[in-house]
Amino acid sequence: MGKQHHAEIGEFLTSRRARITPDQVGLPVYDAAKRRVPGLRRQEVATLAGLSVDYYTQIERGKVNGVSESVLDAIARALQLDEAERSHLFDLHRSATTSPQRPRPRRTKAIRPMVQRLVDSMTVPAFVRNARHDFVCGNQLAYAFYSPLYPDPLHPDPGQPVNFVRFCFLDPRARDFYPDWEWMADSAVNLLRTDAGRDPYDRGISDLVGELSTRSEEFRVRWAKHNVRLHYTGTKTFHHPVVGDITVTYETMPLPADPGLVLTIYSPEPGTASADAMTLLATWAATHLGETAPTADDQAERSPSQRPEH
């Protein structure tokens, strides 16, 4: 695992270097026809970062023990890394330079009753996912919203969490549910790689990446790009089989008391067709799903074998 983490930081830096051309960073190009790399050369990154070529080359080869934060900052500026990429670089450096750990087995963790009460109190879809992107709890409207992800949409089983990334790449229904499937696929992989960088010893994440890399060429190609992103707010459009197209604004919030868990809330703009569709979906949920979503007391009483993976 230690060697893998050293390789990860080198692959990430190489991928960022390949996407930037000399003119983007103000460097003159005198021998464009002779350039053998699509982006910057190592010596050009070293010059921009104020490092020797040999030192930067060693870093890109994964030899990062003793590399300071100021050096990482200089490399991040040279490669014009955004906030997500800079954070990812520091996460990879931490993983490569800390004492090796054994991959942790998949853990089970009960959703705290307070968290379940919080999502239940909302009148829009609200749900919690973990670092491997399992849907681990939500309110009734969230189960209705994501009912297409379950084998039986009319009876989604809260005890068997679905996985957003697996659905995106392995379920043919995903291309109907996500009108802009290409964007959603890119986003899913970039977010998963970001979470993998934060917690590289999570076996649940590594097992999922291994499964999807084996079963999906679309996933494998995207994973190899080493792209990352932060996911706090924005707009998404879905095509729900019950109510049709629905566009929502989303907010995501990590739960500090539950590391790795993220709360997401969807809300359509008032007075729009999407707001009408959400009202219709709520009516459908109340009629067809009944008490599908577990209550806070149900969550607290689950046995360990029934609790969602995290």
pLDDT one-digit tens code per residue, 2-54: 567 678 899 999 999 999 988 888 887 666 556 677 789 999 999 999 999 99
Mean pLDDT for the stretch of residues 65-80: 94
Q: Is the pLDDT of residue 297 over 50?
A: no
What gap in Å lies between CA 283 and CA 286, rounded to an integer? 5
Confidence at 231, pLDDT banded by 50, 70, 90: confident
pLDDT one-digit tens code per residue, 138-179: 999 999 999 999 988 777 777 777 999 999 999 999 999 999
What pLDDT does 154 receive?
A: 76
Residues 6+ apart with CB under 8 A from 33: none
DSSP 8-state code for residue 22: G
Strand pairing partners for 238?
A: 246
Q: Is the pLDDT of residue 304 over 50?
A: no
Q: Is the pLDDT of residue 267 over 70?
A: yes
Confidence at 295, pLDDT banded by 50, 70, 90: very low
For the chain, the average pLDDT equals: 87
Domain coordinates in residue numbering, the chain: 2-97, 113-306
- Longest alpha-carbon distance in the chain: 70
Instruction: Confirm if 78 and 20 have CB atoms less than 8 A apart.
Output: no
Confidence at 192, pLDDT banded by 50, 70, 90: very high
Mean pLDDT for the stretch of residues 193-208: 89
Domain 2-97 bears CATH identifier 1.10.260.40: yes
How many CB atoms are located within 10 Å of the residue 282 CB?
A: 18
% of the chain residues with pLDDT over 90: 66
What pLDDT does 54 receive?
A: 95
CATH topology of domain 113-306: Beta-Lactamase (3.30.450)
Q: Is the pLDDT of residue 309 over 50?
A: no
Query: Which residue from 267, 226, 276 is spatially nearest to 249, judged by alpha carbons?
Result: 267
Mean pLDDT for the stretch of residues 177-190: 97
Confidence at 249, pLDDT banded by 50, 70, 90: very high
What pLDDT does 306 receive?
A: 38
Tell me if the pTM is above 0.95.
no
Q: What tokens appear for 139 in the block?
A: 């309110």
Q: What percent of the chain is helix, strand and coil (3-state, nearest 5)?
A: 50, 15, 35
Q: Is the pLDDT of residue 129 over 80?
A: yes
What pLDDT does 230 receive?
A: 87
Q: Is the pLDDT of residue 215 over 90?
A: yes
What pLDDT does 6 receive?
A: 77
**What secondary structure, in 3-state letters, does 207-267 show?**
HHHHHHHHHCHHHHHHHCCCCCCCCCEEEEEEEECCCEEEEEEEEEEECCCCCCCEEEEEE
What pLDDT does 103 receive?
A: 54
Element (H, E) at 136: strand 135-138
Query: Which residue from 132, 92, 136 is spatially nearest to 111, judged by alpha carbons?
Result: 136
